[in-house]
Each structure stands twice: as structure tokens, then as C-alpha cells.
Amino acid sequence: MGRSPSFQDLRRAADALGLGLDDEELSSLHPLITGLTASLDNLDAMAPPAPEVRYARRPGRRPPPEDNPLGAWYWQSRVPGAPSGPLAGKQVVLKDNIALAGVPMMNGCAALTGYVPEFDATVATRILDAGGEIVGKAVCENLCLSAGSHTAATGPVRNPHDPTRTTGGSSSGCGALVAAGDCDLAIGGDQGGSIRVPAALCGIYGLKPTFGLVPYTGAFPLDMSVDHLGPMGRSVQDVATLLEAIAGPDGYDPRQAGVAVRPYAAGLDQPVSGLRIGLLEEGFGHPGGDPEVDASVRAAAEILAGLRAAVVRVSVPLHRESGGITMGILSRGATSIMLEGGGTGTGWKGWYPTSMGDAFWRGWRASPHTLPPTAQVVALVGRYLADTYGNHYYSTAQNLAPSLTAAYDRALSDVDVLVMPTTTTTAPPLPPQGASVVESLLASFASTANTPTFDVTGHPAMSVPCGWVEGLPVGMMLVGRRGEDDVVLRVAHAFEQSGAFVPGAV
């Protein structure tokens, strides 16, 4: 690191940038540039250590196929936490874009094969401080760029309710392991629905918290403005307890400006009588959606009405137009962080996981052809937009995000939560072996029309299992005011306690 560039290094850089410098001009600049880069030579020796790792652990193992029938485990390990605490007795898995010191991390991507972080993500430390036991890493989709469960370099993740079907993604392994009972809880990540989609398709509870409520430190990002981590579990009580353990500023993550933590578990039993539930008209009736899914969610809202909540219709026309905003942010932002920023990005104050960024940078530069079709398409779109328009469309999308946020805020000034289907269908079949690139891409983004917009706006959004269609679970999405994750959890708990949803056998 810090090696001064040769003349040929500068020649290649100048040509790539189209600077038009001839060899004589470049030779005159070479000594100056060598002096400038020499100032970097001591940075590595001066770098502060990674945050302290406080809990002992063994490396564990990647389970063989016979012990991993759903393909959902990336790595099994045991990291016991504090002897007591609110998570005592709970076994928790981490999505494999979250660092756990001494345990391999792949982020679903061959480019990170062999990488072992030397630090714990903040959420991992907080789980252990609360008495939980981390029992391994769950497979996630390749670079977290799929809402299906077929893109990970380790192979597809299968739905516990029907192994021929997807679990949804990108927190695919988390959804499968929690639903199958192989762990109690999971931490997933969400930039376009990646907690809520697998929660819906696997029949569990999954909360994308208010933006910034849970620190992202130590997790592989996609774009700083839409990155979320959040809890997944088989009960609202467990999800709320885990949220309490991991929420709050950590002093490293700039996403967390101004966040405030509430007592999430203690308020679950407050009645929902008097709350106003808004059925979002634009959240139903999507092209290609399943009318039976819509009907299940409407019926679930009527259960809440029976608990003396007022159910009303709400319209947010911009909801159906939000796709361009999310695409403008994710296509350019993901390309910048993943392929240009080496997995860490630039321009933010906090702690940078340099070993993770270095490992990814080396890996993908050595074998870019191993990127999956989803990552290739995102990279192509992002590179094309950057080369042709600079940051125009990313900037325009970010400039539109406040208007999108305000549209939902206006609706939520009249109601306490919005309701709509999490996914527009139940779990689709996994694409067949040998599927075309187009088939793989279509399967990666099916039925996610309702989820990405709330990553952009930062509103808390939770998938709640509410029914069954032909033996497959249906998810109802509850969306609350920013900072009111407690209200979302309270409504979810009231529905759960009504007994209207009967969990199916796995």
C-alpha cells in the first residue's frame, strides 16, 4: 500500500481519463505525483485498531449439504454472549453481509471468498451484550442485489414451505432459518425490501426500522441513504426485544443523526382501539399481482377493525411512480460503493472497515466475470449513467426523495399506519437450473412493487404473516411514521394475538 506510481501507471491512468497528456508532459508531472503519493506510505502504520472484540468464539464450519437441506446456512459457529440479558437463551443468526470477527464472510459473492473479518459489527456486539448467542451466518444473495433466493455463489436457498420455491431475498437464509426453527431470531439487511420480502414469503415477522435507528457499522453497504439492518423472528415479542437490544447510535454511523430509541417491547400490549389504519389504495392491484394475496391483506385489516381500530382508505398517487426514484438511487449508488468505492464508499465520517473493502476490491477486480447477472446489470446501468450523465439522475432522484417522503407523511398525518401487501404474490418457483440471464433477472425482482420506496423514505415498515394461499404464506406490510416503530410493532402484535393467522407446519 502507498507504493508510488511508475510512469506506466500514470500513462494508463491518463489514457483512461482521456486527459490528452503526451509522454513529455507526463514525465514532468511524475516526480510531483510521486511526492504526493509518498505521503500515504505511513498511513497503514498509523491506522487505529478495529473496535474491540469482547466475546470468545470458535471459527465453526460451513455445514455439508446433508446438514443444510435448505442451503440457508453459510457458516455455523457459536459465540455465547453475556450470561444474562433480554436475549438470554435466544439463538441469533446474522445475514452474511454483517461482520463477525473470526468467522468467514462472503456477502453471497465469490469475490469475497476466504475473507475473515477481524471485527464485530455493532449489532453483533449488542446482541452478545444482551445475552444472545450468535450461532452463525445465513446465506444472503450475491452482493444483496436480488429479491429472489437463487443468486448466491453458494447456491439457491429453498423455502421451508415448498423447497421448489424462493424464500425471497436478499436476506434469504435468514428467512428460511427462522421459519424452519433452526434459530430463534435473525438480523437481516434491507435496501429494497430485503428483510420484508423473505419475511413475507417464509411466513415470519420482519421489521425494516426507521432509517438510522439501527447502526449499520460493520455491514457491507449498497448506498448510504438506503442501508438498513433489522430484526426477523417468529413472534412480534421477539422482534421487539431484539430491536431494543440493537437500536441507538453507536458513534460511528453517520446514518444515525437524531435517532431516538423507544421502549419497543414494553408497549406491545397497549390496545389498538382508536388507532387509524389506512389501506393504501396504490398498494393493491399491481399488474401481475395475485388477487388472493390482496384479499388476504384486506381481510387482515378487517381483523384490526374488529379490535376497534378504524380502517379507512388512503391514497398516495406517488407510490406507483416511485420506481424511478429508487432505481436512480440504487443503480448509481450501488455501483459507486461496490465497484468504485471498494465496498466502503467515500465522503462520510465514521469507522471504515478497510479489510472488508480491500478484500472485495481485490476479489472483484481479479474476477469481475463472476458477478451475477443482477450485479452485472446494476453495474452496467450505473456505469452508463455515470459516463453519460455524470451524477444527474442520482442527484435528481435524491432531490425527489423528500417529496416522496412528504407524500407518505401527509397520509400518515391522518392515519397511524398504512397497510398493503408486502409482496404482490406468494413465493414464486425458483428459476430452473440453466435458466437464462433474463429469466434469472425477472425472478430476482418479482413481486416487490411495494417495498423499495420505504427504504428511500426511511419509514418503519414491517411484514406480518396474515394468511395462506394454496399452502404458501401471505405478508401484510405495516408502515408507520418515522420514529414510531413502536406503533408499527403494537399493531403487528395486536393482529398476532388475535389468532387470525395460524402458523403452518414446516
Other CB atoms closer than 10 Å to residue 101's CB: what's the count? Answer: 22
**What is the Cα–Cα distance from 74 to 430, expressed in whole angstroms?**
19
Rounded to a whole number, what is the distance in angstroms from the first to the last CA of the chain? Answer: 51
Low-confidence winner among 212-216, 366-370, 394-398 (lowest mean pLDDT): 366-370
CA of residue 23 relative to chain centroid, distance: 47
Rounded CA-CA distance 257/422 in Å is: 28
Catalytic residue among 77, 146, 149, 170: 170
Residue 1: the pLDDT is 46
Spot the catalytic one: 149, 172, 194, 336.
194
Determine whether 252 is exposed, middle or buried from the number of CB atoms within 10 Å of its CB (0-12, 13-18, 19+): middle
Question: Which candidate, 227, 65, 245, places its Cα nearest to that of 154?
Answer: 65
Cα separation of 162 and 170, whole Å? 18
If you average pLDDT over every residue of the chain, what do you get?
94
- Residue of 122, 142, 166 lying closest to 338 (CA atoms): 142
Question: How many other CB atoms are there within 10 angstroms of residue 22's CB atom?
Answer: 8
3-state class of 437 per DSSP? helix
Residue owning grid cell 505521503: 39
Nearest to 225 by CA among 337, 107, 317: 337
pLDDT in tens, 24-70: 999 999 999 888 888 888 888 898 888 889 999 988 999 999 999 99
Indicate which residue of 90, 95, 137, 208 is catalytic: 95
Question: Which pLDDT value is given to residue 55?
Answer: 97
For the chain, give the percent of residues with pLDDT over 70: 99
* Dihedral angle computed from the Cα positions of residues 122, 123, 125 and 130, in that order, rounded to the nearest 10 degrees: 140
Look up 95 and say whether it is catalytic. yes
Q: What is the pTM of this model?
A: 0.96
The predicted pLDDT at position 338 comes to 76
Tell me what pLDDT residue 2 has.
Answer: 52
Asked whether residue 3 carries a pLDDT value surpassing 80, the answer given is no
Average pLDDT over residues 244-266: 95
170 catalytic, yes or no? yes
Q: Report the range out of 12-16, 175-179, 349-353 with the highest average pLDDT.
A: 175-179
pLDDT digits (tens, 9 = 90+) for 353-374: 999 999 999 998 888 887 878 8
Banded pLDDT at 505 (limits 50, 70, 90): low
93 membership: H or E segment, kind and range? strand 91-95
What nine digits make up the cell of 343?
A: 465496498
CA distance linking residue 288 with residue 113, whole number of Å: 37
The H or E element containing residue 504 is none
**Least confident stretch, 212-221, 337-346, 382-391, 468-477:** 337-346
The widest CA-to-CA distance across the chain, in whole angstroms, is: 81
Q: What percent of the chain has pLDDT over 90?
A: 80
d(CA 232, CA 92): 10
Query: Cell triple for residue 244?
Result: 431494543
pLDDT at 4: 83
Mean pLDDT of 260-281: 96
Cβ atoms of 452 and 404 closer than 8 Å: no
Tell me: the pLDDT tens digits for 460-476?
999 999 999 999 999 99
Instruction: Map out the domains of the chain with their CATH numbers.
Output: 7-46 (no CATH), 65-498 (3.90.1300.10)
